[in-house]
Structure 1
Protein backbone atom coordinates (compact mmCIF):
# COMPACT_ATOMS: atom_id res chain seq x y z
CA UNK A 1 0.00 0.00 0.00
CA UNK A 2 1.39 3.42 -0.95
CA UNK A 3 1.99 5.74 2.00
CA UNK A 4 0.19 9.08 1.86
CA UNK A 5 2.35 12.08 1.11
CA UNK A 6 3.04 14.34 4.06
CA UNK A 7 1.82 17.92 3.85
CA UNK A 8 4.63 20.35 4.65
CA UNK A 9 4.82 24.12 5.14
CA UNK A 10 8.09 25.95 4.54
CA UNK A 11 8.64 28.74 7.08
CA UNK A 12 10.98 31.50 5.80
CA UNK A 13 12.94 31.77 2.56
CA UNK A 14 16.48 32.82 3.39
CA UNK A 15 19.39 30.91 1.89
CA UNK A 16 18.60 27.73 3.81
CA UNK A 17 14.83 28.11 3.60
CA UNK A 18 14.86 28.62 -0.16
CA UNK A 19 16.88 25.43 -0.65
CA UNK A 20 14.53 23.54 1.68
CA UNK A 21 11.56 24.86 -0.28
CA UNK A 22 13.01 23.40 -3.47
CA UNK A 23 13.63 20.15 -1.63
CA UNK A 24 10.00 19.85 -0.53
CA UNK A 25 8.60 20.69 -3.97
CA UNK A 26 10.81 18.07 -5.64
CA UNK A 27 10.44 15.40 -2.92
CA UNK A 28 8.52 12.26 -3.99
CA UNK A 29 6.93 11.73 -0.56
CA UNK A 30 6.20 15.33 0.49
CA UNK A 31 3.57 17.78 -0.65
CA UNK A 32 4.08 21.53 -0.29
CA UNK A 33 0.97 22.73 1.54
CA UNK A 34 2.00 26.29 2.35
CA UNK A 35 4.73 28.89 2.60
CA UNK A 36 5.29 31.50 5.30
CA UNK A 37 7.43 34.56 4.51
CA UNK A 38 8.48 37.60 6.50
CA UNK A 39 8.94 40.28 3.84
CA UNK A 40 6.03 42.17 2.32
CA UNK A 41 7.39 41.92 -1.21
CA UNK A 42 7.19 38.09 -1.09
CA UNK A 43 3.64 38.00 0.28
CA UNK A 44 1.34 36.41 -2.29
CA UNK A 45 4.16 35.20 -4.53
CA UNK A 46 4.09 31.65 -5.89
CA UNK A 47 6.37 29.30 -3.94
CA UNK A 48 7.97 27.93 -7.09
CA UNK A 49 8.84 31.40 -8.33
CA UNK A 50 10.58 32.22 -5.05
CA UNK A 51 12.93 29.23 -5.33
CA UNK A 52 13.59 29.20 -9.05
CA UNK A 53 11.13 26.47 -10.04
CA UNK A 54 7.92 26.54 -12.01
CA UNK A 55 4.68 27.73 -10.46
CA UNK A 56 3.18 25.43 -7.84
CA UNK A 57 -0.14 27.12 -7.10
CA UNK A 58 0.97 27.55 -3.48
CA UNK A 59 1.26 31.22 -2.56
CA UNK A 60 3.24 32.77 0.27
CA UNK A 61 1.58 34.28 3.31
CA UNK A 62 2.67 36.43 6.25
CA UNK A 63 -0.15 35.16 8.46
CA UNK A 64 0.40 32.37 10.98
CA UNK A 65 -3.37 31.92 11.00
CA UNK A 66 -3.20 30.88 7.34
CA UNK A 67 -0.58 28.30 8.22
CA UNK A 68 -2.55 26.93 11.15
CA UNK A 69 -5.66 26.62 8.98
CA UNK A 70 -3.79 24.27 6.65
CA UNK A 71 -3.52 21.53 9.28
CA UNK A 72 -0.18 20.47 7.80
CA UNK A 73 1.77 17.48 9.07
CA UNK A 74 4.98 19.44 9.49
CA UNK A 75 6.52 22.91 9.31
CA UNK A 76 10.13 23.38 8.25
CA UNK A 77 10.84 26.26 10.64
CA UNK A 78 13.83 28.34 9.47
CA UNK A 79 13.58 31.97 10.65
CA UNK A 80 16.54 34.12 11.70
CA UNK A 81 15.40 34.02 15.32
CA UNK A 82 13.29 31.56 17.28
CA UNK A 83 9.87 32.80 18.40
CA UNK A 84 8.58 30.47 21.11
CA UNK A 85 5.06 31.83 20.73
CA UNK A 86 5.03 30.75 17.08
CA UNK A 87 6.62 27.39 17.85
CA UNK A 88 4.13 26.56 20.59
CA UNK A 89 1.11 27.62 18.55
CA UNK A 90 2.18 25.34 15.71
CA UNK A 91 2.85 22.38 18.01
CA UNK A 92 -0.38 22.84 19.96
CA UNK A 93 -2.33 22.88 16.69
CA UNK A 94 -1.04 19.42 15.76
CA UNK A 95 1.78 20.41 13.40
CA UNK A 96 5.20 18.83 13.89
CA UNK A 97 8.31 20.97 13.43
CA UNK A 98 11.71 20.32 11.92
CA UNK A 99 13.97 23.32 12.41
CA UNK A 100 17.48 24.44 11.59
CA UNK A 101 17.32 26.69 14.62
CA UNK A 102 19.71 25.42 17.31
CA UNK A 103 17.52 25.77 20.39
CA UNK A 104 16.25 22.17 20.49
CA UNK A 105 19.30 19.92 20.01
CA UNK A 106 19.24 18.77 23.65
CA UNK A 107 16.28 19.44 25.98
CA UNK A 108 18.45 19.40 29.10
CA UNK A 109 20.50 22.29 27.67
CA UNK A 110 17.44 24.51 27.23
CA UNK A 111 16.26 27.05 29.78
CA UNK A 112 13.79 25.09 31.94
CA UNK A 113 10.89 27.52 31.40
CA UNK A 114 11.22 27.31 27.59
CA UNK A 115 11.65 23.53 27.65
CA UNK A 116 8.58 22.99 29.82
CA UNK A 117 6.50 25.28 27.64
CA UNK A 118 7.49 23.50 24.44
CA UNK A 119 7.02 20.06 25.96
CA UNK A 120 3.52 21.06 27.11
CA UNK A 121 2.70 22.25 23.59
CA UNK A 122 3.90 18.94 22.15
CA UNK A 123 1.79 16.99 24.60
CA UNK A 124 -1.30 19.05 23.83
CA UNK A 125 -0.90 18.72 20.07
CA UNK A 126 0.51 15.21 19.98
CA UNK A 127 3.49 16.58 18.08
CA UNK A 128 7.28 16.60 18.07
CA UNK A 129 10.03 19.10 17.27
CA UNK A 130 13.58 18.38 16.14
CA UNK A 131 16.61 20.62 15.52
CA UNK A 132 19.03 19.54 12.82
CA UNK A 133 21.27 20.75 10.02
CA UNK A 134 24.83 20.20 8.86
CA UNK A 135 26.76 21.96 11.64
CA UNK A 136 25.52 21.56 14.31
CA UNK A 137 23.57 18.40 13.55
CA UNK A 138 25.07 16.07 10.97
CA UNK A 139 28.75 16.58 11.77
CA UNK A 140 28.42 17.16 15.52
CA UNK A 141 25.86 14.43 16.31
CA UNK A 142 25.03 11.97 13.52
CA UNK A 143 28.62 11.37 12.40
CA UNK A 144 30.14 10.94 15.90
CA UNK A 145 27.39 8.52 16.89
CA UNK A 146 27.95 6.40 13.77
CA UNK A 147 31.72 6.39 14.34
CA UNK A 148 31.21 5.35 17.96
CA UNK A 149 29.48 2.19 16.77
CA UNK A 150 32.86 0.57 16.09
CA UNK A 151 34.44 1.67 19.37
CA UNK A 152 34.56 -0.03 22.74
CA UNK A 153 36.97 2.54 24.15
CA UNK A 154 36.81 6.18 23.12
CA UNK A 155 39.69 8.31 24.36
CA UNK A 156 38.84 11.42 22.35
CA UNK A 157 36.92 12.62 19.31
CA UNK A 158 37.76 15.92 17.64
CA UNK A 159 35.78 17.52 14.82
CA UNK A 160 37.52 20.27 12.87
CA UNK A 161 35.51 22.45 10.49
CA UNK A 162 37.23 24.52 7.80
CA UNK A 163 35.64 27.23 5.65
CA UNK A 164 37.51 29.19 2.99
CA UNK A 165 35.56 32.44 2.62
CA UNK A 166 37.88 34.14 0.15
CA UNK A 167 35.43 33.87 -2.78
CA UNK A 168 32.29 34.51 -0.73
CA UNK A 169 30.90 37.77 -2.15
CA UNK A 170 28.98 38.75 0.98
CA UNK A 171 30.49 41.94 2.46
CA UNK A 172 27.71 42.31 5.03
CA UNK A 173 28.23 38.81 6.37
CA UNK A 174 32.02 38.81 6.42
CA UNK A 175 32.80 42.36 7.50
CA UNK A 176 29.76 43.37 9.56
CA UNK A 177 28.46 40.14 11.08
CA UNK A 178 31.64 38.06 11.36
CA UNK A 179 34.02 40.99 11.84
CA UNK A 180 36.73 40.15 9.33
CA UNK A 181 38.94 43.10 8.44
CA UNK A 182 38.73 44.55 11.96
CA UNK A 183 41.61 45.02 14.43
CA UNK A 184 42.20 41.98 16.65
CA UNK A 185 41.37 44.09 19.71
CA UNK A 186 37.73 44.18 18.58
CA UNK A 187 37.39 40.47 19.37
CA UNK A 188 36.81 39.88 23.05
CA UNK A 189 36.36 36.48 24.69
CA UNK A 190 32.57 36.78 24.67
CA UNK A 191 32.47 37.28 20.92
CA UNK A 192 34.80 34.36 20.26
CA UNK A 193 33.30 31.85 22.70
CA UNK A 194 29.73 31.83 21.37
CA UNK A 195 30.38 28.28 20.15
CA UNK A 196 29.45 27.07 23.64
CA UNK A 197 25.79 27.79 22.87
CA UNK A 198 25.93 26.51 19.28
CA UNK A 199 27.87 23.27 19.76
CA UNK A 200 27.93 22.55 23.49
CA UNK A 201 24.51 20.83 23.45
CA UNK A 202 25.61 18.53 20.61
CA UNK A 203 28.72 17.41 22.48
CA UNK A 204 26.68 16.81 25.62
CA UNK A 205 24.10 14.85 23.61
CA UNK A 206 26.77 12.56 22.17
CA UNK A 207 28.32 12.04 25.60
CA UNK A 208 24.88 11.22 27.05
CA UNK A 209 24.29 8.64 24.33
CA UNK A 210 27.64 7.00 25.05
CA UNK A 211 26.85 6.80 28.75
CA UNK A 212 29.74 9.11 29.63
CA UNK A 213 28.17 12.45 30.57
CA UNK A 214 30.46 15.46 30.54
CA UNK A 215 31.55 17.34 33.63
CA UNK A 216 31.79 20.70 31.87
CA UNK A 217 31.84 22.52 28.53
CA UNK A 218 34.62 25.00 27.83
CA UNK A 219 34.68 27.42 24.89
CA UNK A 220 37.38 29.73 23.62
CA UNK A 221 38.42 31.56 20.50
CA UNK A 222 41.35 33.19 18.80
CA UNK A 223 42.07 35.20 15.69
CA UNK A 224 44.89 35.47 13.16
CA UNK A 225 45.67 38.47 10.96
CA UNK A 226 46.88 38.89 7.41
CA UNK A 227 50.48 40.12 7.32
CA UNK A 228 49.82 42.04 4.10
CA UNK A 229 46.85 43.66 2.38
CA UNK A 230 44.75 41.07 0.56
CA UNK A 231 41.73 41.39 -1.72
CA UNK A 232 38.94 38.82 -1.50
CA UNK A 233 35.60 38.67 -3.29
CA UNK A 234 33.86 40.65 -0.53
CA UNK A 235 36.43 43.47 -0.42
CA UNK A 236 39.88 44.28 0.94
CA UNK A 237 41.51 43.23 4.21
CA UNK A 238 44.20 45.63 5.36
CA UNK A 239 47.49 44.30 6.72
CA UNK A 240 47.24 43.51 10.42
CA UNK A 241 43.47 43.00 10.44
CA UNK A 242 41.57 39.81 11.26
CA UNK A 243 41.65 37.30 8.40
CA UNK A 244 40.84 34.09 10.30
CA UNK A 245 38.88 32.99 13.37
CA UNK A 246 39.16 29.74 15.28
CA UNK A 247 36.52 28.72 17.80
CA UNK A 248 36.99 25.71 20.06
CA UNK A 249 34.34 23.98 22.18
CA UNK A 250 35.55 21.20 24.46
CA UNK A 251 33.59 18.66 26.45
CA UNK A 252 35.50 17.74 29.60
CA UNK A 253 35.41 14.56 31.63
CA UNK A 254 37.71 14.06 34.61
CA UNK A 255 39.54 17.24 33.61
CA UNK A 256 40.32 16.02 30.09
CA UNK A 257 38.81 17.06 26.73
CA UNK A 258 37.14 13.93 25.36
CA UNK A 259 34.89 15.60 22.78
CA UNK A 260 35.88 18.70 20.87
CA UNK A 261 34.50 20.83 18.04
CA UNK A 262 36.78 23.36 16.38
CA UNK A 263 35.76 25.75 13.59
CA UNK A 264 38.32 27.62 11.52
CA UNK A 265 36.93 30.22 9.13
CA UNK A 266 39.46 32.08 7.02
CA UNK A 267 39.75 34.58 4.18
CA UNK A 268 43.35 33.72 3.24
CA UNK A 269 45.73 30.90 4.21
CA UNK A 270 48.55 33.43 4.65
CA UNK A 271 48.15 34.13 8.36
CA UNK A 272 50.01 35.47 11.35
CA UNK A 273 50.35 33.34 13.38
CA UNK A 274 50.52 30.50 10.86
CA UNK A 275 47.64 28.05 11.25
CA UNK A 276 46.97 24.64 9.72
CA UNK A 277 44.23 25.61 7.26
CA UNK A 278 42.61 23.07 4.96
CA UNK A 279 40.11 23.17 2.14
CA UNK A 280 36.47 23.72 3.04
CA UNK A 281 35.05 20.68 4.79
CA UNK A 282 35.50 18.64 7.95
CA UNK A 283 38.19 16.52 9.54
CA UNK A 284 37.34 14.00 12.26
CA UNK A 285 39.97 12.43 14.48
CA UNK A 286 38.97 9.50 16.69
CA UNK A 287 41.29 8.09 19.31
CA UNK A 288 40.25 4.80 20.90
CA UNK A 289 40.53 1.09 20.38
CA UNK A 290 39.45 1.61 16.73
CA UNK A 291 41.20 4.89 15.81
CA UNK A 292 40.06 6.81 12.74
CA UNK A 293 41.29 9.78 10.71
CA UNK A 294 38.62 11.05 8.32
CA UNK A 295 38.55 13.91 5.83
CA UNK A 296 35.27 15.12 4.32
CA UNK A 297 35.94 17.85 1.78
CA UNK A 298 33.38 19.84 -0.21
CA UNK A 299 34.50 19.27 -3.83
CA UNK A 300 32.93 22.51 -5.03
CA UNK A 301 34.70 25.48 -6.68
CA UNK A 302 34.87 28.37 -4.22
CA UNK A 303 32.92 30.55 -6.66
CA UNK A 304 29.99 28.12 -6.36
CA UNK A 305 30.22 27.47 -2.63
CA UNK A 306 27.62 30.10 -1.67
CA UNK A 307 25.01 28.52 -3.95
CA UNK A 308 25.88 24.93 -3.02
CA UNK A 309 26.52 25.03 0.72
CA UNK A 310 22.90 25.72 1.82
CA UNK A 311 22.01 22.22 0.64
CA UNK A 312 24.21 20.62 3.29
CA UNK A 313 21.95 22.10 5.97
CA UNK A 314 18.57 22.24 4.23
CA UNK A 315 18.63 18.72 2.79
CA UNK A 316 19.06 17.05 6.16
CA UNK A 317 16.10 18.98 7.55
CA UNK A 318 13.90 18.00 4.60
CA UNK A 319 14.98 14.36 4.91
CA UNK A 320 14.11 14.40 8.62
CA UNK A 321 10.43 15.29 8.08
CA UNK A 322 9.01 11.73 7.83
CA UNK A 323 10.99 10.59 10.88
CA UNK A 324 9.86 13.51 13.02
CA UNK A 325 6.23 13.10 11.96
CA UNK A 326 6.40 9.44 13.03
CA UNK A 327 8.09 10.18 16.36
CA UNK A 328 6.49 10.19 19.78
CA UNK A 329 5.42 13.64 21.01
CA UNK A 330 8.10 15.84 22.54
CA UNK A 331 11.44 17.48 21.83
CA UNK A 332 13.15 14.79 19.77
CA UNK A 333 16.93 14.61 19.47
CA UNK A 334 19.28 12.77 17.13
CA UNK A 335 19.45 9.88 19.61
CA UNK A 336 15.65 9.67 19.86
CA UNK A 337 15.09 9.29 16.11
CA UNK A 338 16.10 6.48 13.77
CA UNK A 339 19.06 7.20 11.53
CA UNK A 340 17.88 9.81 9.04
CA UNK A 341 18.21 8.86 5.39
CA UNK A 342 17.01 10.33 2.13
CA UNK A 343 14.06 9.14 0.05
CA UNK A 344 15.12 9.91 -3.51
CA UNK A 345 12.54 8.16 -5.64
Structure 2
Protein backbone atom coordinates (compact mmCIF):
# COMPACT_ATOMS: atom_id res chain seq x y z
CA UNK A 1 0.00 0.00 0.00
CA UNK A 2 1.46 3.34 -1.04
CA UNK A 3 1.39 6.42 1.23
CA UNK A 4 -0.90 8.11 -1.28
CA UNK A 5 -3.39 5.24 -1.09
CA UNK A 6 -3.31 5.28 2.70
CA UNK A 7 -3.94 9.03 2.66
CA UNK A 8 -6.96 8.59 0.40
CA UNK A 9 -8.34 5.85 2.65
CA UNK A 10 -7.99 8.14 5.66
CA UNK A 11 -9.95 10.84 3.82
CA UNK A 12 -12.71 8.33 2.98
CA UNK A 13 -12.96 7.10 6.57
CA UNK A 14 -12.61 10.44 8.38
CA UNK A 15 -16.33 10.49 9.22
CA UNK A 16 -15.91 7.40 11.40
CA UNK A 17 -13.41 9.24 13.61
CA UNK A 18 -16.33 11.36 14.77
CA UNK A 19 -18.10 8.19 15.95
CA UNK A 20 -15.09 7.26 18.11
CA UNK A 21 -15.09 10.76 19.61
CA UNK A 22 -18.79 10.52 20.44
CA UNK A 23 -18.33 7.14 22.11
CA UNK A 24 -15.48 8.59 24.14
CA UNK A 25 -17.65 11.51 25.24
CA UNK A 26 -20.45 9.13 26.25
CA UNK A 27 -18.00 7.11 28.36
CA UNK A 28 -16.36 10.24 29.81
CA UNK A 29 -13.01 9.39 28.20
CA UNK A 30 -10.34 11.86 27.14
CA UNK A 31 -8.32 10.31 24.32
CA UNK A 32 -4.58 10.87 24.17
CA UNK A 33 -4.71 9.98 20.48
CA UNK A 34 -7.12 8.70 17.86
CA UNK A 35 -5.03 6.60 15.49
CA UNK A 36 -5.97 5.72 11.92
CA UNK A 37 -5.29 2.26 10.50
CA UNK A 38 -6.10 0.50 7.24
CA UNK A 39 -5.17 -2.40 5.00
CA UNK A 40 -6.19 -3.61 1.56
CA UNK A 41 -6.93 -7.07 0.17
CA UNK A 42 -6.67 -8.12 -3.47
CA UNK A 43 -8.95 -10.09 -5.78
CA UNK A 44 -8.01 -13.78 -5.88
CA UNK A 45 -9.26 -14.05 -9.47
CA UNK A 46 -10.52 -11.89 -12.32
CA UNK A 47 -13.85 -10.36 -11.30
CA UNK A 48 -16.65 -9.23 -13.62
CA UNK A 49 -19.11 -6.99 -11.78
CA UNK A 50 -21.15 -6.25 -14.89
CA UNK A 51 -20.45 -2.53 -14.73
CA UNK A 52 -16.67 -2.94 -14.36
CA UNK A 53 -14.02 -5.64 -14.23
CA UNK A 54 -11.11 -6.20 -11.89
CA UNK A 55 -8.00 -8.19 -12.71
CA UNK A 56 -6.61 -10.73 -10.31
CA UNK A 57 -4.32 -8.96 -7.84
CA UNK A 58 -6.26 -5.68 -7.96
CA UNK A 59 -7.17 -4.04 -4.65
CA UNK A 60 -10.72 -5.26 -4.05
CA UNK A 61 -11.38 -4.63 -0.34
CA UNK A 62 -10.52 -2.09 2.32
CA UNK A 63 -10.48 -2.65 6.07
CA UNK A 64 -9.72 0.35 8.22
CA UNK A 65 -10.85 2.65 10.99
CA UNK A 66 -9.78 4.44 14.15
CA UNK A 67 -8.34 3.48 17.53
CA UNK A 68 -9.06 5.72 20.50
CA UNK A 69 -6.22 5.53 23.05
CA UNK A 70 -6.00 6.46 26.72
CA UNK A 71 -2.72 6.14 28.57
CA UNK A 72 -1.20 4.33 25.61
CA UNK A 73 -3.92 1.66 25.70
CA UNK A 74 -6.51 1.23 22.95
CA UNK A 75 -9.96 1.46 24.54
CA UNK A 76 -12.21 2.05 21.51
CA UNK A 77 -11.78 0.49 18.07
CA UNK A 78 -14.06 1.19 15.14
CA UNK A 79 -13.45 -0.90 12.01
CA UNK A 80 -15.16 -0.60 8.63
CA UNK A 81 -14.89 -3.11 5.76
CA UNK A 82 -15.75 -2.18 2.17
CA UNK A 83 -15.43 -4.86 -0.49
CA UNK A 84 -16.24 -5.60 -4.12
CA UNK A 85 -15.74 -9.37 -3.93
CA UNK A 86 -15.53 -11.90 -1.12
CA UNK A 87 -12.99 -13.99 -3.02
CA UNK A 88 -9.85 -12.30 -1.69
CA UNK A 89 -6.28 -13.57 -1.94
CA UNK A 90 -5.67 -12.64 1.70
CA UNK A 91 -8.55 -14.86 2.83
CA UNK A 92 -10.47 -12.23 4.77
CA UNK A 93 -13.63 -13.48 6.45
CA UNK A 94 -16.37 -10.95 5.74
CA UNK A 95 -19.25 -10.96 8.18
CA UNK A 96 -22.77 -11.42 6.83
CA UNK A 97 -24.00 -9.07 9.56
CA UNK A 98 -23.75 -5.38 8.71
CA UNK A 99 -23.01 -4.34 12.31
CA UNK A 100 -21.05 -6.16 15.00
CA UNK A 101 -20.71 -4.60 18.45
CA UNK A 102 -18.30 -6.06 21.02
CA UNK A 103 -18.02 -4.71 24.57
CA UNK A 104 -15.26 -6.28 26.67
CA UNK A 105 -16.05 -6.08 30.36
CA UNK A 106 -17.92 -7.92 33.12
CA UNK A 107 -19.99 -9.28 31.56
CA UNK A 108 -18.82 -8.90 27.96
CA UNK A 109 -21.34 -8.28 25.19
CA UNK A 110 -21.30 -9.52 21.59
CA UNK A 111 -24.17 -8.13 19.52
CA UNK A 112 -24.82 -8.47 15.80
CA UNK A 113 -27.33 -6.73 13.55
CA UNK A 114 -28.23 -7.85 10.06
CA UNK A 115 -30.36 -5.72 7.73
CA UNK A 116 -32.81 -7.74 5.62
CA UNK A 117 -33.47 -6.16 2.20
CA UNK A 118 -36.84 -6.22 0.53
CA UNK A 119 -37.10 -8.63 -2.45
CA UNK A 120 -37.45 -5.73 -4.88
CA UNK A 121 -34.31 -3.91 -3.67
CA UNK A 122 -31.58 -3.16 -6.17
CA UNK A 123 -28.06 -1.92 -5.58
CA UNK A 124 -28.77 1.71 -4.72
CA UNK A 125 -31.67 0.85 -2.42
CA UNK A 126 -28.99 0.00 0.15
CA UNK A 127 -28.37 3.75 0.29
CA UNK A 128 -31.46 3.93 2.52
CA UNK A 129 -29.21 2.78 5.38
CA UNK A 130 -27.11 5.90 4.94
CA UNK A 131 -30.10 8.20 4.50
CA UNK A 132 -32.19 7.07 7.48
CA UNK A 133 -30.07 8.60 10.30
CA UNK A 134 -30.01 11.97 8.53
CA UNK A 135 -33.72 11.92 7.64
CA UNK A 136 -34.73 10.80 11.12
CA UNK A 137 -32.73 13.66 12.64
CA UNK A 138 -34.56 16.37 10.65
CA UNK A 139 -37.14 17.22 13.39
CA UNK A 140 -34.38 17.61 15.99
CA UNK A 141 -32.25 19.68 13.65
CA UNK A 142 -35.21 21.92 12.80
CA UNK A 143 -35.89 22.49 16.49
CA UNK A 144 -32.25 23.21 17.29
CA UNK A 145 -30.69 26.71 17.23
CA UNK A 146 -27.90 25.16 15.15
CA UNK A 147 -30.32 24.88 12.25
CA UNK A 148 -29.40 28.48 11.46
CA UNK A 149 -25.65 27.91 11.75
CA UNK A 150 -23.08 27.02 9.15
CA UNK A 151 -19.96 24.88 9.36
CA UNK A 152 -17.81 27.51 11.06
CA UNK A 153 -20.23 28.07 13.96
CA UNK A 154 -21.83 24.65 14.43
CA UNK A 155 -18.88 23.02 16.18
CA UNK A 156 -18.39 20.52 13.35
CA UNK A 157 -14.67 19.75 13.57
CA UNK A 158 -14.26 17.67 10.45
CA UNK A 159 -15.79 19.74 7.70
CA UNK A 160 -13.39 20.31 4.74
CA UNK A 161 -12.39 23.80 5.92
CA UNK A 162 -12.09 23.11 9.64
CA UNK A 163 -8.44 24.17 9.66
CA UNK A 164 -8.70 26.70 6.84
CA UNK A 165 -8.70 30.48 6.79
CA UNK A 166 -11.61 32.80 7.46
CA UNK A 167 -12.11 32.86 3.72
CA UNK A 168 -12.47 29.08 3.79
CA UNK A 169 -14.95 29.32 6.65
CA UNK A 170 -17.02 31.83 4.70
CA UNK A 171 -16.92 29.50 1.73
CA UNK A 172 -18.19 26.67 3.95
CA UNK A 173 -20.95 28.95 5.26
CA UNK A 174 -22.02 29.70 1.72
CA UNK A 175 -22.12 26.04 0.80
CA UNK A 176 -24.15 25.21 3.90
CA UNK A 177 -26.90 27.52 2.63
CA UNK A 178 -26.99 26.09 -0.87
CA UNK A 179 -29.70 23.65 -1.82
CA UNK A 180 -28.41 20.07 -2.01
CA UNK A 181 -27.78 18.64 -5.44
CA UNK A 182 -30.41 16.27 -6.77
CA UNK A 183 -27.72 14.16 -8.36
CA UNK A 184 -27.13 11.04 -6.28
CA UNK A 185 -23.48 9.99 -5.88
CA UNK A 186 -22.55 7.00 -7.97
CA UNK A 187 -21.51 4.12 -5.77
CA UNK A 188 -21.69 0.39 -6.11
CA UNK A 189 -20.01 -0.59 -2.89
CA UNK A 190 -21.40 -3.53 -1.01
CA UNK A 191 -22.97 -2.67 2.36
CA UNK A 192 -20.30 -1.73 4.85
CA UNK A 193 -19.51 -4.09 7.69
CA UNK A 194 -18.77 -2.22 10.88
CA UNK A 195 -17.11 -3.61 13.99
CA UNK A 196 -16.88 -1.60 17.19
CA UNK A 197 -14.85 -2.80 20.14
CA UNK A 198 -14.78 -1.21 23.58
CA UNK A 199 -12.03 -2.45 25.85
CA UNK A 200 -12.80 -3.20 29.48
CA UNK A 201 -10.84 -0.14 30.58
CA UNK A 202 -13.33 2.10 28.78
CA UNK A 203 -16.10 0.96 31.10
CA UNK A 204 -14.32 1.83 34.36
TM bucket (normalised to shorter chain) is 0.5 to 0.7
Residues 192 and 222 in structure 1, CA contact (< 8 A), matched pair in contact too: no
The 1:186–1:216 alpha-carbon spacing in structure 2 relative to 1, beyond 3 Å, is closer
Residues 196 and 218 in structure 1, CA contact (< 8 A), matched pair in contact too: no
Corresponding residue to 1:210 among 27, 50, 55? 27
Superposition TM-score, scaled by structure 2 size: 0.63
Cα distance per residue 1:176-228 (max 9 Å; x no partner): xxxxxxxx659632122235622212211221222112111111211111122
The 1:185–1:216 alpha-carbon spacing in structure 2 relative to 1, beyond 3 Å, is closer
Aligned match of 1:233: 50
Aligned match of 2:135: 318
Q: Secondary structure of 1:293's partner? A: strand
Aligned match of 2:94: 277
Aligned match of 1:220: 37
1:285 Cα offset (Å)? 1.0
Residues 228 and 238 in structure 1, CA contact (< 8 A), matched pair in contact too: yes
Cα distance per residue 1:165-186 (max 9 Å; x no partner): xxxxxxxxxxxxxxxxxxx659
Report the Cα distance in structure 2 between the residues aligned to 1:306 and 1:270, rounded to whole angstroms: 19
Rg larger in structure = 1
Please, what is the CA RMSD of the aligned residues?
Answer: 2.7
The 1:326–1:186 alpha-carbon spacing in structure 2 relative to 1, beyond 3 Å, is closer
The 1:305–1:190 alpha-carbon spacing in structure 2 relative to 1, beyond 3 Å, is same
The 1:262–1:268 alpha-carbon spacing in structure 2 relative to 1, beyond 3 Å, is same
Higher relative contact order (CA 8 A, sep 6+): 2
Matched, 1:192 2:9: yes
Matched, 1:262 2:57: no
1:231 Cα offset (Å)? 1.4
Superposition TM-score, scaled by structure 1 size: 0.39
Residues 16 and 66 in structure 2, CA contact (< 8 A), matched pair in contact too: yes
Cα distance per residue 1:257-287 (max 9 Å; x no partner): 2111111111221112111212261111111
Report the Cα distance in structure 1 between the residues aligned to 2:72 and 2:98, rounded to whole angstroms: 29
Report the Cα distance in structure 1 between the residues aligned to 2:3 and 2:53, rounded to whole angstroms: 18
